[in-house]
Amino acid sequence: YLRCKYNYWQINGVKQLRAHFLFGHFFKMKSVRLTELLQETYDAFKGSALVAGTYVYLRPIAVILDLDLAKMILIEDFDKFVDRRNFHKEPLMDNLFNAQCEEWCTLRKKLTPMFSSGNLKCIFGTITEVARNLEESFQELVGTQGGVLDVHDLLDRFSMDASATCAFGIHFNSLKDPQVEFRVNGRKIFHHSDDGIRWRIFKFLYWSVLAKLKLSVRFYDKIIADFFTRIVREKLELRQELRHNIKRNDFLELLMASKDDNDLTLEQLTPHAFDFFVSGYETSSSTMSCALFELAKHPSVQQKLRNEITGILHKHAPNLTYEAVQEMRYLDQTITETLRKYPALASLTRIAAEDYTVPTASGDIPLVLDKGTIVYIPVRAIHYDSEIYPEPTIFRPERFETSTCLQRHSMAFLGFGDGPRHCIGQQFGRMQIKIGLIALLTKYQFSSVPGFPDELPISKGNVILRPRQGVLLKVHRVPE
């Protein structure tokens, strides 16, 4: 039985890595993100096949090796690959990220206007206020002498404060008080140890089976669900009290105010606001930390970026404006290059809604992905492909100059996904990261700490990429 299971791909004419007769590819699953398994598959077959097969437990997974095929799946044949995965629904999971088929389509149309540039401009002011707390904390910790800081810890707090303020309209300062109730609960969502990785992968994959067997498995602890429901309930009550004096500069307000939705219930509002908080918090803090880590290793890139920022700020003085940030091209390139090297999601997943015939050259044996097949697009492996990005381990924001990007395949960068289901919060995420980096780079210089690893250690237990132990950097004030 197992031999048959672990040869599913080979039987169907698809190349696969040699599978252990009893364990399949079990021992190649070394992180929750399956980075190692996908990389090995990509390296083994890229160039000789459009698709390769692998196994996560007994489930066959199709790994896409060709960028044209990735484009078909994400964009041109999107209607055949709408869903990301089959999620068992629990209260906090009933959101856009997990929604399926028509429900996803309706939700996406409803939520897209919330991310308009008009709304982002309103939220811009909210984040710049939080960035002032970040600057103050650095000032207190670094003083005039300079020092060594765990910048990831501080950026994690900044991102938590900013994401909570923008998603729920809740103001607190975890930079001053790391034990604030929201942060204690917020951290429980993400911070997983590197133990029990394979059990977590099993749960992700067989969630609905476990649920049908009435086994009590939960994605989020009940404490977390209760906490976030309470936050939204309190906000709803406050809104009723202040009916005529509402400022629309958080997502919860925007959700409640969106036309025809005044009757959204607590149960409907909570998962969406939670989704925006969850999607923005960890992605932004990790991206900022990875960017500073790379900038510390590359002083000339850091100085070039600082020159751009200060030059544009000077032009728009005295205040940091939304328009000024839009002008900072090199900053945008730096963020893209950071997400190339450290993509928040190591892969994009889709499920075939029907049998799908992979377009092959005439004369080749036709290849069919059966209905229900889980498809992985190995983002990290694509980002580290030396044929696409020469010397891929080197940090080089110049790779993303417009003229250079135009010479690459449109699927060569997938840091925010692509197609109708790409990241809805891309502009918002970029904005939050930019505001944080501008606040720091205008005032502080970053350099590497001797003895700290040259390659940033990454957690294996998190779905979203995050530094494993923190990011230690030397920090000094920029001379006046």
By CB under 6 A, is residue 378 in contact with ligand HEM?
no
What is the nearest approach in angstroms of ligand HEM to the Cβ of residue 66?
17
What is the nearest approach in angstroms of ligand HEM to the Cβ of residue 119?
11
Stretch 85-124: interaction string toward ligand HEM, x if CB under 6 A: -----------xx----------x----------------
Place of tokens 């990301």: 84
State the DSSP code for 182: H
Q: Which is nearer to ligand HEM, 66 or 136 (CB)?
A: 66
By CB under 6 A, is residue 271 in contact with ligand HEM?
no
For residue 56, give the 3-state DSSP assignment. strand
Stretch that binds ligand HEM, among 130-138, 296-304, 410-418, 442-450 (CB under 6 A): 410-418
Report how far residue 186's alpha carbon sits from residue 183's, in angstroms, rounded to the nearest whole number: 5
Report how far residue 411's alpha carbon sits from residue 71's, in angstroms, rounded to the nearest whole number: 7
By CB under 6 A, is residue 423 in contact with ligand HEM?
yes
What is the nearest approach in angstroms of ligand HEM to the Cβ of residue 79?
14
What is the nearest approach in angstroms of ligand HEM to the Cβ of residue 473?
20
Q: Which is nearer to ligand HEM, 383 or 396 (CB)?
A: 383
For residue 63, give the 3-state DSSP assignment. strand
Sign of CA dihedral 398, 437, 156, 234: negative
Q: Which is nearer to ligand HEM, 183 or 474 (CB)?
A: 183
Q: Which is nearer to ligand HEM, 176 or 409 (CB)?
A: 409
State the DSSP code for 92: G
By CB under 6 A, is residue 52 in contact with ligand HEM?
no
Report how far residue 420's alpha carbon sits from residue 408's, in angstroms, rounded to the nearest whole number: 21
For residue 475, give the 3-state DSSP assignment. strand
By CB under 6 A, is residue 284 in contact with ligand HEM?
yes
Q: Which is nearer to ligand HEM, 298 or 380 (CB)?
A: 380
By CB under 6 A, is residue 330 in contact with ligand HEM?
no
Report how far residue 90's alpha carbon sits from residue 323's, in angstroms, rounded to the nearest whole number: 40
What is the nearest approach in angstroms of ligand HEM to the Cβ of residue 101?
12
Q: Which is nearer to ligand HEM, 10 or 106 (CB)?
A: 106
Q: Is the Cβ–Cβ distance between 414 and 378 less than 8 Å?
A: no
What is the nearest approach in angstroms of ligand HEM to the Cβ of residue 88?
17
Q: Is the Cβ–Cβ distance between 390 and 85 less than 8 Å?
A: no
Stretch that binds ligand HEM, among 294-302, 305-313, 338-346, 402-410 (CB under 6 A): 338-346
Given candidates 25, 421, 466, 474, which one binds ligand HEM under the rule CB under 6 A? 421
Place of tokens 């066959």: 60
Q: Per-residue DSSP letters for 327-358?
A: H-HHHHHHHHHHHHHS-SSS-EEEE-SS-EEE
Given candidates 372, 401, 422, 453, which one binds ligand HEM under the rule CB under 6 A? 422
By CB under 6 A, is residue 282 in contact with ligand HEM?
no
For residue 81, give the 3-state DSSP assignment. coil
By CB under 6 A, is residue 228 in contact with ligand HEM?
no
Report how far residue 54's alpha carbon sits from residue 41's, in angstroms, rounded to the nearest whole number: 7
Report how far residue 268's alpha carbon sits from residue 206's, in angstroms, rounded to the nearest whole number: 26
Q: Is the Cβ–Cβ distance between 275 and 96 less than 8 Å?
A: yes
What are φ and ψ of residue 400, in 5° steps? -105, 25
Q: Which is nearer to ligand HEM, 337 or 418 (CB)?
A: 418
State the Cα torsion 308-310-315-317 to the nearest 10°. 150
By CB under 6 A, is residue 415 in contact with ligand HEM?
yes
By CB under 6 A, is residue 192 in contact with ligand HEM?
no
The verdict on whether residue 290 carries a ligand-binding annotation is: no
Stretch 430-469: interaction string toward ligand HEM, x if CB under 6 A: ---x------------------------------------
Q: What are the residue ranges of helices labelled H in 172-265?
A: 181-190, 197-205, 207-212, 222-241, 251-257
Angle at 280 between CA 476 and CA 166, to 5 degrees: 90
Binding site residues, ligand HEM, CB under 6 A:
96-97, 108, 275-276, 279-280, 283-284, 287, 339, 344-345, 348, 415-418, 421-425, 428-429, 433
Binding residues: 423
Binding residues for heme: 423
